[in-house]
A and B are shown apart, each in its own frame.
Chain A
Amino acid sequence: EIVLTQSPATLSLSPGERATLSCRASQSVSSYLAWYQQKPGQAPRLLIYDASNRATGIPARFSGSGSGTDFTLTISSLEPEDFAVYYCQQRSNWPNTFGQGTKLEIK
């Protein structure tokens, strides 16, 4: 099973700042990686797929990059609604797996 390790576990930033979240895979997943956002009491929402493509309706401040084993989700300028937990997920090898999450909190 491919293990996805996200860092940091918690990121404390202020609105308007730039957020950089990392996801590292235990083996190459090519570009078969997605990012999801989850707010309390809600289901996850697809943000980025195939490492760098924004899902429908996702604002341009969200961007993804990387391939192989190292991936980054960047939020260029944080809005109040962006504070949430973010998960990466791979579909290169079954079982599809998720990272343990990065909590983005207001500083």
Chain B
Amino acid sequence: QVQLQESGPGLVKPSETLSLTCTVSGGSVSSGSYYWSWIRQPPGKGLEWIGYIYYSGSTNYNPSLKSRVTISVDTSKNQFSLKLSSVTAADTAVYYCAREKQWLDYWGQGTLVTVSS
């Protein structure tokens, strides 16, 4: 059974960089069959796709966040990561990592990141 687990700071100061890691177990990020995605959900609101990465390192980012987002993959650790720079209160959200094979079939439990001084 594939499992994904997000980790990282739950509190980030405004203007700083949010950094999260997703550790995959029961499957491999090196599999050529999947993309690995980040999605976020502000408290009480809907879902926003941040971007995704393929094991080769190719990425695709939501244009609304593209200037601030970097997604990377570490196949040796079976992890992929998210960096979001210059954060503001509007970036406060639950951040999910997920596996995509055309659709998001496995998700992490999500981690709440609050942007506040």
Which A positions have Cβ atoms within 8 angstroms of B?
Answer: 1, 34, 36, 42-46, 49-50, 55-56, 87, 89, 91, 94-101
Contact = CB atoms under 8 A, between A and B. Distances in A.
Contacts, number: 46
Interface in B71-111: 96, 98, 102-105, 107-110
A34 B103 contact: yes
Contacts of A98: 46-49
B60 interface: yes
Interface residues of B, number: 18
Contacts of A44: 47, 96, 104, 107
Instruction: Determine chain A's interface SS by DSSP, over half rule.
Output: loop
B24 to A, nearest CB: 15
Interface of B: 46-49, 60, 62-64, 96, 98, 102-105, 107-110
